[in-house]
Amino acid sequence: MECVWVIILFLHWSLSGAQRFDLEGGGSVAAPGSDVTLPCSLKPRMSAVDMEVKWTRQDPGDKLVHHYKNKQDQTDKLDPSYINRTSLFIEKLQQGNTSLLLKKVQVSDGGLYRCRVDSDQWKDSVNVQLRIEATGGTPEISVLGTGVSGGVLLQCESRGWWPVPDLQWLNSEGAKLPAGVKESCEDVGGFYVRRSLTAHKSNTNTYICRVKLGEVKKEEQIDITDHLPKPDNTAAIAVSVTLILLSALVCVVVYFIRRDKLRKWLKEKQTADMCLKGEGEPRLHGVNFTDAQWKYVEHTLLTSEEVLEVFDLRKYDPSEECFLKLQKVVYACRKAQLSYCDLTEKSCDVLASVLRSNSRLRELDLSQNILWNSGVKKLCSGLESSDCKLEKLSLSNCSIREEGCAALCSALKKNPSHLRELNLDSNNPRDSGVKQLSDLLEDPHCKLEKLHLSYCMITKEGCDDLCSALKNNPSSHMRVLNLHNNKSVDSRLEKLSALLEYPHCKLEILDLTDCSITQEGCVALCSALKKNPSHLRELNLNHNKPGDSGVKQLSDLLEDPHCKLEKLDLSGCSITEQGCAALCSALKKNPAHLRELNLNNNKPGDSGVKQLSALLEDPHCTLEKLDLSSCSITEEGCAALCSALKKNPSSHLRELNLNNNKPGDSGVKQLSDLLEDQNYKLEKLELSKCSIREEGFDALCSALKKNPSHLRELNLNHNKPGDSGVKQLSALLEDPHCKLEKLDTLKCFSPLYSLSWCSITEEGCVALCSALKKNTSSHPRELNLDYNKSGLKTC
């Protein structure tokens, strides 16, 4: 009988094993206007017809590009700029090919994409980079005429490049010639470039024009013999005289050449200086520097104290080319910020030798570069060196998988005593990679204090390994554990709870956002924390499902005088009136620690808000930040909050977020009364999407006029001030006592909403701008006027 079970188990295991797959991606290059395939396919080959395929754009933002599910393309939530431009190769899905066809490529499409495939049993994702590049035509050379000094004036031009290519004039031996300024402009289908040259008689009379973009070169040459001015006959007679004069001339020429060289260098130096001190960033993007200019830039950076503290490559040019030119700076700086720089293995080689060289480098941020396992392995040859004293390493979203993670861990095991913080967010270490990481954490020499593993698809097994390892290492230094968005960690949290109740566990920050934690898990977690409550300072449980009994346990924990929690995030946890009441009464019994409470997007109801008000009325309550956005707060709830705060003049509350509620006119009036009260020291107030109308604006502005000295930030987006409301705001901003620094207002008309949202006319906008201009002296100000009817974005 037992034998049969073993066989069934084996069959089950091998069947589900067969469903596992890896995704393979790659990179693509496309010209503007063309169609391109972004590669992504399953390995081993299996049908993806029944799977879910999601293509998203990683930078900027997280835009949905294409979505295939239930054997159909899904069109809702697609980013508008991709609609009707994408498709999968439906007939290829059968072979596991989930590549995306993107049509009519635009310049703005260039960037990082992510292909994600979910089957019932397995999922994986891979990044795919799309580069926009167009190769133009062979250059054309034309003769424009005879130059002043008897040379021939040539012009070389070429069309259809993207981005702007390099354009050089060369002599027949291939040496670069000093030529005119390179001119370029954007044309249909790419850039047009041209450059002129005054060519003189030479041995071969041949000149070459070369256009170059990356590895692509296009050349054209011209023989100028026929275009040279005819030699003058009388000149022959003068030859002897010329010879005599020549020696004298040589001296003069040498003098001038030297002077010209110096002048040229001074000019180059000036250009480099101008780029370095430029306003915009990246400052060195697209420059065409000589080696001497690069040396000069490097030298300048190496003498800047600021750069030696933090070298941020993105300020100069976020590219591997620039990194390689400026690599000496990395040897000398304390922190290297290299995220989003398109770095590859090549840079990892350089960084490894920096790390081996006993350099000053202590913090390295390589996040958002596609390094793959191979790049990380190169980096490891530096990390394992005893000369490497790195304290902080960020490798988030670097396409690292189990092999890369294993290499990283074994390198760190050889040199465990320096690294304090490791960020591996958004990689895919798989269970075996997490196992290696656990071995590292179990090592008593490991000094890691902060570990970030969000979006790593960690399973129950992985999470259990991590927790047992931490528990088995009583000298563990771990203080911050981030498991944000790992949806398959054990919903019951057995091992994590066992770790938390263990007296040696000194975790201070625990982030379990969006981990599919159930009521059972939350109860286990809280009862473990009750046994060892004195270390945790910050707990993020948002977007889980604690249920009423989970919230009840949490309340019991908060009530414990040994619990010193300062920050609690419970947004989107479906907390009801009952749950909110339990939390508040617990906090009333132990009010002296919590500083930040986030209840956004829950359902406290009027009675829950009343309980919260009672808490805020308590002079012992230390709450500084309270987020109640999207909590369906009514006039009644708002009135309760305000009157509670009015009764507690020593309230610590500095930031209040009431976005997306329904305070109504009377609620806004109550809030205004509160703002008018000198005792009350609110610094930041958010009231976006609260349906505030003219009356509400009047009340708020007149309150702020009477008590202008506390509020720094006010968010009034998506309301309806009308012209009179705008005038009130203008008058307020003109007041020299008003301390408002950021007025994120008046996004009262968004193109996404109907025209009736519009409420600021040109008149209103002009009034606001002139008010700001009259009072620029006292405080730096930010004013956001996006999306208003007048179209005046800036003043």
Ligand X SMILES: *[C@@H]1O[C@H](CO)[C@@H](O)[C@H](O)[C@H]1NC(C)=O
- In this complex, which beta carbon is closest to ligand X, that of residue 97 or of residue 184? 97
Min CB(105)–ligand X separation in Å: 15
- In this complex, which beta carbon is closest to ligand X, that of residue 26 or of residue 180? 26
**Of the ranges 34-42, 426-434, 482-490, 672-680, which one interacts with ligand X (CB under 6 A)?**
34-42
- In this complex, which beta carbon is closest to ligand X, that of residue 128 or of residue 640? 128
- In this complex, which beta carbon is closest to ligand X, that of residue 39 or of residue 189? 39
Min CB(102)–ligand X separation in Å: 12
Min CB(89)–ligand X separation in Å: 5
- In this complex, which beta carbon is closest to ligand X, that of residue 25 or of residue 605? 25
Please measure the distance between the N-terminal and C-terminal CA atoms of the chain and give it in whole angstroms. 83
Size of interface with ligand X, in residues (CB under 6 A): 7
- In this complex, which beta carbon is closest to ligand X, that of residue 89 or of residue 331? 89
**Of the ranges 36-44, 50-58, 194-202, 507-515, which one interacts with ligand X (CB under 6 A)?**
36-44
- The verdict on 41 binding ligand X (CB under 6 A) reads yes
Min CB(94)–ligand X separation in Å: 11
CA dist list (Å): 291 to 272, 273, 701: 11, 15, 59
- In this complex, which beta carbon is closest to ligand X, that of residue 92 or of residue 504? 92
Min CB(97)–ligand X separation in Å: 4
- In this complex, which beta carbon is closest to ligand X, that of residue 45 or of residue 647? 45
- The verdict on 37 binding ligand X (CB under 6 A) reads yes
CA dist list (Å): 628 to 514, 583, 605, 632, 651: 19, 14, 11, 9, 17
Report the site for ligand X in 257-286 (rule: CB under 6 A): none
- In this complex, which beta carbon is closest to ligand X, that of residue 41 or of residue 544? 41
CA 623-625-627 angle, to 5 degrees, is 120
**Of the ranges 35-43, 233-241, 381-389, 715-723, which one interacts with ligand X (CB under 6 A)?**
35-43
Q: HSE-up of 590 (CA within 13 Å, CB side)?
A: 18
Min CB(427)–ligand X separation in Å: 23
Instruction: Provide the residue type at 101 as one letter.
Output: L
Q: Taking Cα atoms as reference points, which of 72, 99, 104, 76 lies closest to residue 88?
A: 99
- The verdict on 634 binding ligand X (CB under 6 A) reads no
- The verdict on 28 binding ligand X (CB under 6 A) reads no
CA 520-522-526 angle, to 5 degrees, is 120
- In this complex, which beta carbon is closest to ligand X, that of residue 56 or of residue 98? 98
How far does CA 386 lie from the centroid of its chain?
A: 32
CA dist list (Å): 170 to 167, 174, 236, 292, 319: 10, 5, 31, 20, 27
Min CB(35)–ligand X separation in Å: 11
Q: Taking Cα atoms as reference points, which of 554, 450, 460 lies closest to residue 511?
A: 450
Min CB(307)–ligand X separation in Å: 44
H or E stretch including 292?
A: helix 291-302
Residue 286: Cβ-neighbour burial (10 angstroms; 0-12, 13-18, 19+): exposed
**In terms of DSSP bridges, do strands 713-715 and 41-43 run parallel, antiparallel, or are they unpaired?**
unpaired
Structure tokens at 369: 């570069």
Min CB(20)–ligand X separation in Å: 18
Min CB(101)–ligand X separation in Å: 7
- In this complex, which beta carbon is closest to ligand X, that of residue 40 or of residue 152? 40
Residue number of the CB closest to ligand X reads 97
How many residues in total does the chain contain? 795
Residue 341: Cβ-neighbour burial (10 angstroms; 0-12, 13-18, 19+): buried
Q: Taking Cα atoms as reference points, which of 671, 691, 747, 737 lies closest to residue 715?
A: 747
Cβ contact 569:601 at 8 Å: no
- In this complex, which beta carbon is closest to ligand X, that of residue 22 or of residue 443? 22
Residue 244: Cβ-neighbour burial (10 angstroms; 0-12, 13-18, 19+): exposed
**In terms of DSSP bridges, do strands 190-199 and 310-312 run parallel, antiparallel, or are they unpaired?**
unpaired
For 201, residues 6+ apart whose C-beta sits below 8 A from its C-beta are: 224, 228
Phi-psi region of 26 (alpha: psi -120 to 50; beta: other; left: phi over 0): left
- In this complex, which beta carbon is closest to ligand X, that of residue 92 or of residue 259? 92
Distance CA 209, CA 219 (A): 6
CA dist list (Å): 560 to 319, 347, 510, 546: 53, 52, 19, 19
Report the site for ligand X in 73-92 (rule: CB under 6 A): 89, 92
Min CB(117)–ligand X separation in Å: 13
Report the site for ligand X in 86-145 (rule: CB under 6 A): 89, 92, 97, 99
- In this complex, which beta carbon is closest to ligand X, that of residue 89 or of residue 502? 89
Min CB(125)–ligand X separation in Å: 17
- In this complex, which beta carbon is closest to ligand X, that of residue 25 or of residue 722? 25
Q: Is 273 helix (H, G, I), strand (E, B) or coil?
A: helix
Residue 159: Cβ-neighbour burial (10 angstroms; 0-12, 13-18, 19+): middle
Min CB(128)–ligand X separation in Å: 12
**Of the ranges 33-41, 145-153, 342-350, 553-561, which one interacts with ligand X (CB under 6 A)?**
33-41
- The verdict on 45 binding ligand X (CB under 6 A) reads no
Min CB(23)–ligand X separation in Å: 11
Q: Taking Cα atoms as reference points, which of 672, 670, 734 lies closest to residue 697?
A: 672
Min CB(402)–ligand X separation in Å: 22
Which DSSP category does 93 fall into?
Answer: G
Residues that bind ligand X (CB under 6 A): 37, 39, 41, 89, 92, 97, 99
